[in-house]
Every structure is written in structure tokens, then in C-alpha cells.
Amino acid sequence: MISLSKGKVENPIGVFDSGLGGLSVWQELVKLMPNENIIYFADSGNCPYGNKTKAEIIDLSIQNTAFLLSKGAKMIVVACNTATAAAIEVLREKFDVPFIGIEPAVKPAAARTRTGNIGVLATKGTLESERFQKAKNKYASGVIVHMQIGEGLVQAVENQEIEAEKTLELIKKYITPMLEHNVDEIILGCTHYPFLIPIIHKILPQYIEVINSAPAVAKQTKKILLESQNQNPNHEAGKYEFYTSGNETVLNDFLTYIGAEKN
């Protein structure tokens, strides 16, 4: 394990994702903890993670973590379902800082369904991971889980084609079979997908709930900060830094699109 010197409470929360999708988690962190400083790293140069091997994802996650720690991060939020599934246990063994991961919200969906059918839209890496299979077997053994790989949706968000007709057609292609199987809960198992919620709702009946795990991640992050007495005591607005391994113009354009401020 790599031991790090105790960070100051004013130090930032580090957040990384395979690309821009983790900004859906960043948004929830800012809402819940507006005084916390946050550093975000988008590994868009290696995006998407969903079709990479587990070993590749682990290596990239270690690199992303090392970068955020070099910037003084006091804890790390792995704002990527695929990276959480493949790498979070390795990261916890290797680095002596708290890690918060994100997983498809199978438990609440299985508890709330009235039809006994739930859908999960996620990447190949997440759906085929041992971590997801364990969660599905533990929490959804009494319901039918309809799984769908969202091929192309990560790229649609990265390319800011969120409102494009071809993106709507992809979503129809993936969600229509779920509707035919009478699902009433659809889990978004990738942090890129919440940016597609307005389009998803265009084709869903009102009674179907779309579950975004990002708010739960923010709540867990705050809980860990409070328990470890590591929350920022300052009351002024937090400062935010954004980095990418890809095209900086794409990152900046997306931050403008979602109304994020750099300071």
C-alpha cells in the first residue's frame, strides 16, 4: 500500500471518469457540498473503458488516481461504473486514501419494482463484471433483470451529440426491448447516461422510473467525509479544477454546455 501524508481538510476531493460522464457525479457533489474543493480528471484520451480488458482498466485507474493525488486530493471518487467494477478493490489496496465508487442501483430498483422486471443500461465492462453479477444475485434474485449494453452512448455524450437524431434512435433501440418486457425501473449503469435522461424520457411512459446513481454517490461521499472529520470547514464556495487526457476544447465546451464554472 502506498501511504500518503495526511491531507488538509481544505484539500480537494478528486474525481475521475473514463471521460466526461463523471461530471454527472460532479454536479451532485457540488449540490450537496458546495464548499468542497473538487478536482476532476476526464480520461477522454482513453475513452471508452467499456470494451477494455480488466487489466487495462486497472492500469488506467491507477494512473488517474496517482494524478489526482499529485494534485493533493484527500479522497477519490471513482465516477465510472466500469472502473469501479474492475479496479476499486485494487485501488483501495494500493493507496491509503478513502475511495468512493459507483455501481448500478440494482438494490433500490429491485425493491421498488411492481412488475417484477427491471432494466439495466450499462457498458459491456460493467454488465460482465463479477462485481455487478454479485450485486444482481444478491439484491435482484426475486426479479427479472433485463440487461442492455449501451454501445455508442458514451461516444454520443463525449461528442456532444446528446440531442442528435442518431442518439435518439440508439436509445430507442436499447430501451424498446425493455418496454416490451414490462420493466418499470430502468437503471442507468454508466455516468455518461444521465446526460441523456431528457431524451430517454421522450420515449418512456410516465410510470417508468429512471434511476441515476450519482446522488447516492454524493451522499456517501459526504458521509465518509463527516465520519473521518475531513470535511472542509470553510463556508465559501468551493474551487473547481478540470483536467483531461483528451481534447481540452471538448472538455471546456462540455463544461459550458452543462453550466459548470471553472475557478
Contact criterion met (CB below 8 Å) for 80 and 102 = yes
pLDDT in tens, 69-78: 999 999 999 9
| Domains of the chain: residue spans and CATH | 13-102+215-257 (3.40.50.1860), 106-212 (3.40.50.1860)
Contact criterion met (CB below 8 Å) for 184 and 117 = yes
- pLDDT band, residue 7 (cuts 50/70/90): low
Mean pLDDT calculated for residue range 48-63: 96
Q: Is the pLDDT of residue 263 over 60?
A: no
pLDDT score for 1: 46
pLDDT in tens, 210-227: 999 999 999 999 999 999
Question: Catalytic residue at 47?
Answer: no
Q: Where are the beta strands (DSSP E) in 6-126?
A: 13-17, 38-42, 75-78, 99-100, 117-122
Mean pLDDT calculated for residue range 3-14: 72
Contact criterion met (CB below 8 Å) for 87 and 61 = yes
* Overall pTM > 0.75: yes
Contact criterion met (CB below 8 Å) for 183 and 117 = yes
Identify the active-site residue in 171, 190, 211, 218.
Answer: 190
Identify the active-site residue in 20, 68, 78, 80.
Answer: 80
pLDDT score for 214: 96
Mean pLDDT calculated for residue range 182-201: 96
Mean pLDDT calculated for residue range 171-178: 97
Mean pLDDT calculated for residue range 117-139: 95
Question: Catalytic residue at 190?
Answer: yes
Contact criterion met (CB below 8 Å) for 106 and 135 = yes
Give dist(CA 202, CA 156) in Å, integer: 17
How many C-beta neighbours within 10 Å does residue 169 have? 11
Counted residue by residue, the chain has a size of 263
- pLDDT band, residue 259 (cuts 50/70/90): confident
Q: Tell which residue, 260, 251, 258, 263, has the closest CA to residue 20.
A: 251
How many C-beta neighbours within 10 Å does residue 223 have? 11
Give dist(CA 105, CA 89) in Å, integer: 19
